[in-house]
């Protein structure tokens, strides 16, 4: 189904509808980083500010595209809106392009009205790879899980998902059951699978703030010197893959 752009956040490029960038998540992370600096917590403020810069860069270069057959992530050329291939997915390999007929579910976390992460699940990825990356946290199964930060206009992204009749447990329930996939019947019978994975990924994003850092809390003692009260060392192997989003 061909859909013409209805708002300023959609654009036509050839046969594709392109959802334009949105910098709200980057600005929110930047504000949080500034607040942490003001609170004299540089060990947390520096990685949060770096995360804001990453979101801003990704928002400037990644585009979410819809054609007659598939949803695809593409990248822009430097200084232009010319679209190019985004390369292989860094988590499971293969192109960052998914046929509509393979979609199982999509959602937004914590909500569509206040989106930080966009989630979708598809069966196009070979089944033996469904447990890789964020899929390792999906206890429900039935497809490969993908997350990306909400670096595009989510309202128009949702309109495009709906216009393509993509199934969603929360946002497009009447399209959730597709007769050609028994796995989707199983997904429709359960509740909360997407929300569970979203909570896990959101926790990973929060942990990214302290990833590969050791945070030591110093407290004064009677002598006027400082001693270490506690140290927390965090290691996060796949969080960067999640926050960059689908390997774009």
Whether the Cβ atoms of residue 208 and residue 202 lie closer than 8 Å to each other: no
pTM above threshold 0.75: no
Q: Return the structure tokens found at 4.
A: 């013409």
Whether the Cβ atoms of residue 21 and residue 72 lie closer than 8 Å to each other: no
Cα-flanking dihedrals φ and ψ of residue 43, to 5°? -65, -30
Q: From first to last of the 248 residues of the chain, give the pLDDT tens digit.
A: 444 444 455 666 668 999 999 999 999 999 999 999 999 999 999 999 999 999 999 999 999 999 999 999 999 987 777 899 988 888 888 899 999 999 999 999 999 999 999 999 999 999 999 988 888 888 888 999 999 999 999 999 999 999 999 999 988 765 544 434 444 444 444 444 444 444 444 444 444 443 433 333 334 445 444 444 443 333 333 443 444 343 34
Query: Could you give the CA distance from residue 202 to residue 199 in angstroms, rounded to a whole number?
Result: 5
Whether the Cβ atoms of residue 19 and residue 10 lie closer than 8 Å to each other: yes
Whether the Cβ atoms of residue 144 and residue 92 lie closer than 8 Å to each other: yes
Cα-flanking dihedrals φ and ψ of residue 182, to 5°? -70, -25
Instruction: For the chain, report the end-to-end CA distance as a whole number of angstroms.
Output: 25
Give 100's DSSP letter. G
Contacts of 51 (CB under 8 A, 6+ apart): 29, 33, 208, 209, 243
């Amino acid at each position: 189904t061909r859909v013409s752009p209805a708002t300023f956040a959609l654009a036509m490029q050839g046969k594709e509808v392109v959802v334009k960038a949105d910098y709200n998540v980057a600005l929110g992370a930047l504000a949080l980083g500034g607040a942490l600096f003001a609170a004299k917590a540089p060990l947390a403020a520096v990685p949060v500010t770096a995360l804001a810069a990453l979101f801003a860069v990704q928002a400037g270069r990644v585009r979410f595209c819809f054609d007659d057959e598939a949803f695809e992530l593409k990248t822009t050329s430097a200084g232009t809106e010319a679209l190019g291939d985004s390369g292989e997915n860094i988590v499971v390999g293969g192109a960052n392009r998914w046929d509509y007929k393979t979609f199982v579910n999509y959602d937004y976390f914590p909500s569509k009205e206040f989106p930080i992460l966009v989630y979708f699940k598809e069966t196009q990825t070979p089944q033996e790879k469904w447990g890789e990356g964020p899929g390792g946290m999906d206890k429900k199964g039935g497809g490969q899980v993908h997350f990306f930060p909400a670096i595009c206009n989510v309202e128009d992204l949702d309109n495009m998902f709906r216009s393509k009749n993509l199934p969603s447990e929360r946002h497009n329930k009447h399209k959730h059951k597709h007769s050609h996939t028994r796995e989707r019947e199983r997904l429709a019978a359960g509740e909360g699978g997407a929300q569970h994975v979203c909570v896990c990924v959101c926790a990973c994003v929060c942990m990214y703030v302290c990833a590969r850092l050791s945070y030591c809390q110093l407290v004064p003692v009677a002598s006027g010197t400082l001693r270490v009260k506690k140290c927390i060392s965090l290691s996060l192997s796949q969080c960067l893959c999640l926050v960059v989003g689908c390997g774009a």
